[in-house]
Chains A and B, each alone.
Chain A
């Protein structure tokens, strides 16, 4: 006879599942899978929404078919070249500035001055009343008019028709911007947008030589013409020009989002990894039960195919249920994630698609296949003769097979979550190493406790001594979850707070940029009048490093991506005759004050990353000239001081003749509230940036990012609890037996309850102590050695970790083991016989 019909297998599997689903090991299996799916889908749904937001804007991402950008003003030659290719063109200039309302309140804005044809692709959408239905703009702002971001309207209490001081101009708010096509790139938006017409740009006096502005030429037309234009721009071989088409998109944004997704994905992966351990432990319990069931079924005449089918069907149903419940939880959880990170996004995120559900189901299936399948399939192969001889050794799957299949499933999941094989492998290795370390630590502490002569400690360790391996697994699993949460809590509160608190009270709180050479003396006088002293105005020249000695930048490549970006982008140079007291020369010598040589001083870390050495000749492209000089010294810079600093400083002989604007950092007392307003009124072209609010914003973003990751790590802690429950369940049969014997020998229920309670208190204390102490040690290391700040030990957090360990483990362990106490010893001993 071949296998029984499929319908028979389905009916039997369904019936078995209905009954057995209430068993704790099935519940642990289901919860562990639900947790994995929830962790994966919450991140998946969130990433999906962000990606959809980006895709929706891809078509109009550049507001053109291609863009040429430059730190220098776009020359007529380049525009003519585009027109010669029958391309439509327009220009966009972006720069930061400060505006004032009628009441004299100021705000930093990101100004975008646009040509008449803007945008060439897509549309700007406006509204006349905040958050009212929007409409497509039919032209650019008129002369004397601006369109503003609703955020600016909020902060300066502006309505349409209100006046604003912008540089030397007084402009009127003509509309609120509800959508701006080429804004999609600014995911990490710092300042609200203000759009003005190019026709007002010169009159505003906002731009001068060396101003920090970005110039763009937007082009649109036939594909062939755009391609031809791209080739011609490339042939110009101008290091200042950067060509970008829609396909190239915004790599920086994509990369930032990929990193966010990857980071959240990693947090979810740790939860999946721990849940996998719970799945494996629960599967072992289920497999042992299945061995008996399978043997009876086969004795009754079920074919092995029928038994396998039943197992597969049961697992499939469990996977489906877990996928559905987990996905619903994941879907709800992603709203919290989106809310936590909402401030990063300019536009509202679109609703997610159902695509992440595939990921959720795959996660459940993979976790089952990897962590559960080896044990369950082995159960199917249990000898039929077990119906007669239950003393036959239990055939367990090889540990190597379980580990290998678990790791294979994890790798597949991690690849899906992070799209990075190496990162996935590193995470698995890291988690395993941390777990192994925690396991060793707990074994060590248990051994230490065993040597103790304290009767309390010895009695508390009674149960632990009997199951040292199982207890160590519980401690390690729970500690991993707790450790991850504590570390993030420390980053979110302690590390960021420590950093903020240790900024000196009189540290500069404003940057002043775009001060034109002719404004230097009047600005100095103004500052002196206002009692702001000690600030230096440094010349700032924008330049791009073209080559080191005779090697052009980019040739030979950089291993470090950041170094490549730093060396390839425009950056700010300055010149100084005498050395600064807050910069320390660490190699070479500072130049004589009256030197006529063209020399450079380079910040030491930048030099190291970009491969610049003493004696090298650097060639910079500044405006349309090449300036060269020899590196005469390397400097150490204290970036944390918030003083103005530069990667490269030259001798006056090298750089004085180049177009420059001036920059300064200054400390203005809190009560000088009118300072910014007065600066902007007196020097309309000068931009004042408040460092305090920037720090607040940066720490806010970091704090929220940490909170978002911590939120995902919440799944990890629950997974740790599940491993604990699974491990306690695994030892429950043994506990039943032990308790029955002890009760037969006269132990009271009260004594046994106390003994069990003590055991879980001790396991909880061990987990909490280990996790808390490691978290504090890591935080101390980061603050003292990475951030080079003074670490303040957070006793409350350390104790919270220990209490969380004790509370979590005691509640979970004691509740799971409680039924052991209520069983009659006779029934237990009988069932064991």
Chain B
């Protein structure tokens, strides 16, 4: 079953010397539970594609359907509502809120959907990523690997249908990165969750079901 479909997707921005095309007429479909890696050189449009597919940004042209929701027709709040329940994120720079503890960061998506058992589910999820002992720590008190594991716990705590990961190992050393990736794929499998992974790392891309290559704003 197709859970993400992009049709003729384009993104242009206004640069100093005129309009700049970042994505050009991209078409893509992703089935439930499938893992897709998007690779390509810096500036090829990988992250922009991810942001559009996840509803973080709006396309200039084209359509995006995420879990039967036409994201291109929704406003920002509409897209946020889809993200709140169906989507998880892992970012290169972790994006944990610095003022919240590890536990509170994991609870955040559940609290936004007013889940009554947010704390126990978050504790359980932190236990799954091996950070029970660090749940009261602030992000600044955690190592890079630990921060990314908290981010993984946060991403999976809502049992999302799709996980979007942008260079999840980009800020980690190789050993830590490998451990985080292993954890991510295990959790994805457990949750039967689709994955869109943007990476430079061919080894990481090879763990996915499909690898797409971006070149100058287009899929090849």
Contacts and interface: CB of A to CB of B under 8 A. Distances in A.
Given A1-B81, A11-B111, A384-B76, A299 B89 contact: yes
Interface string A533-572: 0000000000000000000000000000000000000000
A8 B100 contact: no
A300 B57 CA distance: 14
B142 interface: no
B109 A298 contact: no
Contacts of A390: 93
A298 B76 contact: yes
Given A1-B81, A387-B91, A387-B95, A300 B56 contact: no
A19 interface: yes
A7 B57 CA distance: 28
A388 B56 contact: yes
B108 interface: yes
Interface in B44-77: 47, 50-51, 54, 56-57, 76-77
Contact of B114 (A5, A20, A384): A5
A296 interface: yes
A171 to B, nearest CB: 78
B166 interface: yes
Given A300-B84, A300-B109, A303-B80, A387 B56 contact: yes
A582 to B, nearest CB: 76
Nearest to B166: A388
Interface in B74-124: 76-78, 80-85, 87, 89, 91, 93, 95-97, 99-100, 104, 108-109, 111-114
A20 B99 contact: yes
Contacts, number: 96
Nearest to A289: B98
A384 B91 CA distance: 13
A390 B95 CA distance: 10
- Tier of interface size on chain A: 20 to 34
B50 A300 contact: no
B113 A301 contact: yes
Interface residues of B, number: 34
Nearest to A307: B80
Contact of B80 (A20, A301, A385, A387): A301
A377 to B, nearest CB: 15
Contacts of B78: 1
A271 B161 CA distance: 55
B84 A302 contact: yes
A277 B68 CA distance: 50
B112 A16 contact: no
A385 B100 contact: no
B189 to A, nearest CB: 23
Nearest to B78: A1
B97 A385 contact: no
Interface in A293-326: 293, 296-306
A8 B114 contact: yes
A302 B51 contact: no
Interface in A352-392: 383-385, 387-390
Contacts of A749: none
Interface of A: 1-5, 7-8, 11-12, 15-16, 19-20, 292-293, 296-306, 383-385, 387-390
4 closest cross-chain pairs (CB), A and B: A301-B84, A1-B81, A19-B99, A301-B83
22 contacts: A1-B77, A1-B80, A3-B77, A11-B111, A12-B112, A16-B100, A19-B100, A19-B138, A293-B99, A296-B97, A297-B108, A297-B112, A299-B54, A300-B108, A301-B113, A304-B80, A383-B57, A384-B76, A384-B80, A388-B47, A388-B166, A389-B47
